[in-house]
Chains A and B, each alone.
Chain A
Amino acid sequence: MSVLSMKNIHKSFGELNVLKGINLEVNKGEVVAVIGPSGGGKSTLLRCATTLETIDKGEITIGGDTLAKDSDKGAVYCDRKTLQEIRGKFGLVFQNFNLFPHFSVRRNITESLIHVQKKSREEANQICDALLEKMGLSDKADSYPCNLSGGQQQRVSIARALATNPDIIFFDEPTSALDPELTAGVLKVIRELAEEHMTMVIVTHEMSFARDVADRIVFMDGGVIVEQGPAKELINNPKSERTKEFLAGY
């Protein structure tokens, strides 16, 4: 079953064509890593999937709901209510966390549960406690983001993204803003999620991580998917010249 379906996605910023007809299907339980050189459109692709950018042309379906549909005049977006529903079906983890600094860790996680998902405070707190335990941060519920290390902050933001029990989680370079010694904790958490068959799309520059954790790797360059395939195969045996060239840099 496909959790995310992106068909023939086109996106440009003014004159700059950033996505030139991307097709990406992600099945339930699948872990997809997106790799590729800087400026290739990886972040833009995630931002289009997560409603932060609107596409010019193409179709996006998430968790069975259609976010955007194609028409003669380009992509047509769903109504507000569906949009709101879709936003409950995915989580997004940013490179620089984007936690709410004025909220405690607990409130960062529960605020949307209470005020968007309309869950009771108790239920929200239970969800929060369970997630923090999973992230190894049970003792940090009352801390503020500024008092946490980058790695801890990123784990809180993962917990926040998981809180709505989404069908899919997107990560945009979740460890790029971290000091090297802090990446391990974050990668471990993502690895555990993969073992639980959480559906994930991860943009990353950590090649060995992508190879070990992802089921499939997508190599993007110049706004197109150049090559994709089973993780180990793509890393060990890239077919396209561009992929080879890119991987040679690692």
Chain B
Amino acid sequence: MDKLIPIITQLSQGLVYTIGIFALTLLFAIPLGLLVAKGRMSKNKIISSIVRVYISIMRGTPLMLQLLIVYFVPYYVFKLNLRDLVIGSLDYRFIATIIGFSLNYAAYFGEIFRGGIQSMPQGQYEAAQVLGFTKTQTYFRIILPQVIKRVLPSVTNEVITLVKDTSLAQVLSLTEMFTAAKKLASAQVSVLPFIVAGIFYYIMNGIIEIIMTRIEKKMNYYK
């Protein structure tokens, strides 16, 4: 027990970062994903090609590498020393992590949203159009609510993956939960910190699953 308590307190400090990365990534990546989907479906060939390349890079290279690039590129390429930059209580390590995660997840979300939007029958747009709804009204009142229902299961998958992916932030020496566990494990010469960290991740995802299942159920009032 006297071993467990310091583990839990230290991991909890890491957990704050983990949750921070998780929440902020969702906050930025979801709206950004909608933009990515829109860009990917754009009639403008230049825009859609750029977005296509962006998606393929984000999905085709390791997130860990992308994090390193976001962190180091300003300095090595642009001679911009952001490493001492602090905004509020957030340093550039953390900011770079959020940028990297958001850019990466926006690509995945974008493809999920695109699939959802493209699966909508043309008739929904046409019915809205003849009733006089504007494009914006059609999107927000008719299309998006149905798309959300359609993409929810895939989004849940991504969200669960994101919880586990937060551990990749260790590459920028950010003391999120996984890094904290690693440090503790080597200090205590024990696997216990890893086990506790595993339980933490598992609980987080359990909560997410419960919440998402509830939302899915709530949307089951129509087919």
Residues of A within 8 A of B (CB): 50-52, 84, 87-88, 90-92, 94, 96, 98-102, 111-112, 115-117, 144-146, 160, 164
Contact = CB atoms under 8 A, between A and B. Distances in A.
B107 to A, nearest CB: 28
A111 B141 contact: yes
Contacts of B126: 52, 94, 98
A144 B223 CA distance: 9
Most chain A CB within a 10 A radius of its CB, from B121, B128, B131, B133: B131
Contacts of A111: 131, 141
B38 interface: no
Contacts of B149: 102
30 contacts: A51-B129, A52-B129, A88-B132, A90-B130, A91-B130, A92-B130, A94-B127, A98-B126, A98-B127, A99-B127, A100-B124, A100-B127, A100-B128, A101-B146, A101-B223, A102-B146, A102-B222, A111-B131, A112-B132, A115-B133, A115-B137, A116-B131, A116-B133, A116-B137, A117-B132, A144-B221, A144-B222, A146-B222, A164-B131, A164-B132
Query: In terms of DSSP, what is the predominant structure of the interface of chain A?
Result: loop
Contacts of A90: 130
Interface residues of B, number: 20
Interface of B: prevailing SS: helix
Counting from the closest, the 8 A-B pairs by CB-CB distance are A98-B123, A98-B127, A112-B131, A116-B132, A87-B132, A146-B223, A144-B222, A92-B130
A116 to B, nearest CB: 4
